């Protein structure tokens, strides 16, 4: 299969570049810029993309490449820092910009030479997203200037004889008009891509590889009910059937009917599905606990213990399946990239679980690709498009002490909120939405009597990366229907509030 390699120089958009390439049906992997040239050569990529980065190429401490990379005969696209790296290594000159010499940030009107393959078939001008403090003062011999802005004459360069291209802007972000078309042009017009990367092909290949690896061995998977673990389970189930045991720890902290839905989704496969009903155990351990971090630790510890108990019943297993996905790998740090978060394998499974090897069948997939694979495998849409749900479940959406009565109240209120959003066909305009049962009570009037009941908060956000988020402008008539239904159908709630705080300063979850 054809492959493109993204060499990471510490850019914040390295994942996004890879996603854009894959959206064009071309397989792509992100590798550190320190990857040995021999390894790059051995993988026979049809193209290489240099990412952006926070450094200046003329700084001796900045990340560089082996100059021999330019002798491989492989097309190269340099983005931002990557563009300047091309110029720096091939005889150009990069210097610090000033306000008068092409230091540019944000949306910038840009003009293109559409005779260049990179901009073939695109408008001659459009908005690009700039983020560079340095600029190319001198372009290398053999390169042509193929884009400029009012402030910068060297926005894009190319040497089409050697298939080298560089852009100072970021074509991978949505702010750049026709940016994805530029990446597609690089792939198809320059690299000769054939568009072989599809989820159907990935499914068939992954199933064959899992069968070859597992043979007649026994496989164990901790099924949380989330998208990643569910798709991993479905893929392995398709490959080895009843050699797989899925342990679903039902802690009683899930949304309405969610445990039953997860169990029903796997009835189509001949797997050993173990549902450990541990609600009473978890609620007992959480009794009287109000501090959020303490709740999280208790739930994590008990999950491990319940899983251990079920694993002991199964006995020796050969393989442990994990739902690791590509962002987990990248965010753990690649080369000069900052470590965004440490990767935790299945919530920290106990060392005692005895197995030969870990299988991570989703390790090279992005989240949207995992969802596509789930559809290919026939998982129901409610699982494939399941919203992000915290590991501790509703325990951190019930503020204060947790009781079964509070959980049941929240479950029903949350269901009504999600039900009305679905009826209004708004679910695809929101990235996460849910209800929170606060620990505050207020005076109300229902019928002719005074009430003193809980305040329920509604939360909905729109986001692209969950690192920042804006509160959703839900139409008033939808909020009105939600409020009316909840106070009429759910006991112990007499007031509804809507959280209109963005992230930052707030977080998406309340605890």
39, 41, 44, 48: CA torsion to nearest 10: 90
Give the neighbor-by-neighbor strand order of the sheet with 144-149.
Answer: 27-32, 3-8, 47-50, 76-79, 164-167, 156-159, 144-149, 104-112, 125-132
Is residue 172 among the annotated active site residues? yes
Q: Which two tokens stand for residue 364?
A: 């090279």
Q: Tell whether omega for the bond before 326 is within 30 degrees of 0, i.e. cis.
A: no
Contact 412, 489 (CB under 8 A): yes
Contact 472, 461 (CB under 8 A): yes
Question: What's the chain's length in residues?
Answer: 511
Contact 420, 458 (CB under 8 A): no
Q: 435-450 b/e with 16+ CB inside 10 Å = b?
A: bbbbeeeeeeeeeeee
- The DSSP H or E segment spanning 444 is strand 432-446
Please identify which of the residues 24, 28, 33, 80 carries the catalytic annotation: 80
Q: Which two tokens stand for residue 49?
A: 């993309």
Please identify which of the residues 88, 132, 170, 251 carries the catalytic annotation: 170
Is residue 428 among the annotated active site residues? no
Is residue 80 among the annotated active site residues? yes
Contact 81, 52 (CB under 8 A): yes
Classified as helix, coil or strand, 77 is strand
Please identify which of the residues 24, 83, 132, 172 carries the catalytic annotation: 172
Between the alpha carbon of residue 287 and those of residues 401, 404, 410, the distances in Å are 7, 10, 17
**Which residues are known catalytic residues?**
80, 170, 172
């Amino acid at each position: 299969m054809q492959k493109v390699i993204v060499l990471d120089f510490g850019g914040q958009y390295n994942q996004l570049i890879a996603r854009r390439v894959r959206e064009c049906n071309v397989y792509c992997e992100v590798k550190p810029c320190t990857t040995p040239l021999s390894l790059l050569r051995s993988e026979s990529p049809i193209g290489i993309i240099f990412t952006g980065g926070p450094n200046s190429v003329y700084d001796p401490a900045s990340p560089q490449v082996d100059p021999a990379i330019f002798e491989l005969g492989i097309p190269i696209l340099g983005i931002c820092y990557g563009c300047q790296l091309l110029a720096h290594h091939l005889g150009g000159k990069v210097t610090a910009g000033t306000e008068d010499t092409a230091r540019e940030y944000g949306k910038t009107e840009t003009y293109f030479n559409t005779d260049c393959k990179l901009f073939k078939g695109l408008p001659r001008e459009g908005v690009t997203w700039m983020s560079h403090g340095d600029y190319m003062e001198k372009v290398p011999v053999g390169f042509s200037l193929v884009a400029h802005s009012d402030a910068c004459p060297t926005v894009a360069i190319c040497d089409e004889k050697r298939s080298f291209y560089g852009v100072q802007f970021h074509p991978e972000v949505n702010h750049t008009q026709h940016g994805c078309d530029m990446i597609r042009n690089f792939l198809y017009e320059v690299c000769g891509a054939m568009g072989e990367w599809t989820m159907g092909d990935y499914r068939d290949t992954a199933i064959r590889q899992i069968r070859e690896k597992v043979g007649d061995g026994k496989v164990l998977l901790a099924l949380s009910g989330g998208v990643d673990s569910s798709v991993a389970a479905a893929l392995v189930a398709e490959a080895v059937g009843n050699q797989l045991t899925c342990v679903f720890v039902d802690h009683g902290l899930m949304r309405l009917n969610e445990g039953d839905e997860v169990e029903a989704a796997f009835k189509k496969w001949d797997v050993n599905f173990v549902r450990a009903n541990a609600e009473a155990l978890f609620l007992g351990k959480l009794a009287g606990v109000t501090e959020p971090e303490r709740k999280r630790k208790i739930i994590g510890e008990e999950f491990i213990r319940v899983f251990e108990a079920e694993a002991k019943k199964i006995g020796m297993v050969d393989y442990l399946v994990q739902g690791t996905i590509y962002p987990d790998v990248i965010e753990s740090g690649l080369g000069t990239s900052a470590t965004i978060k440490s990767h935790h394998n299945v919530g920290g499974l106990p060392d005692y679980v005895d197995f030969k090897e870990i299988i991570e069948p989703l390790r090279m997939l992005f989240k949207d690709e995992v969802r596509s694979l789930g559809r290919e495998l026939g998982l129901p849409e409610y699982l494939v498009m399941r919203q992000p749900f915290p590991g501790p479940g509703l325990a951190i959406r019930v503020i204060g002490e947790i009781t079964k009565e509070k959980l049941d109240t929240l479950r029903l209120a949350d269901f009504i909120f999600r039900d009305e959003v679905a009826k209004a066909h708004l679910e695809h305009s929101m990235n996460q939405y849910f209800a929170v049962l606060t620990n505050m009570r207020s005076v109300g009037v229902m019928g002719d009597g005074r009430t003193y009941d809980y305040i329920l908060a509604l939360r909905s956000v729109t986001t692209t990366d969950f690192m920042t988020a804006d509160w959703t402008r839900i139409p008033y008539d939808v909020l009105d229907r939600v409020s009316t239904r909840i106070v009429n159908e759910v006991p112990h709630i007499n007031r509804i509030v809507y959280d209109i705080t963005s992230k930052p300063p707030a977080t998406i979850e309340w605890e």
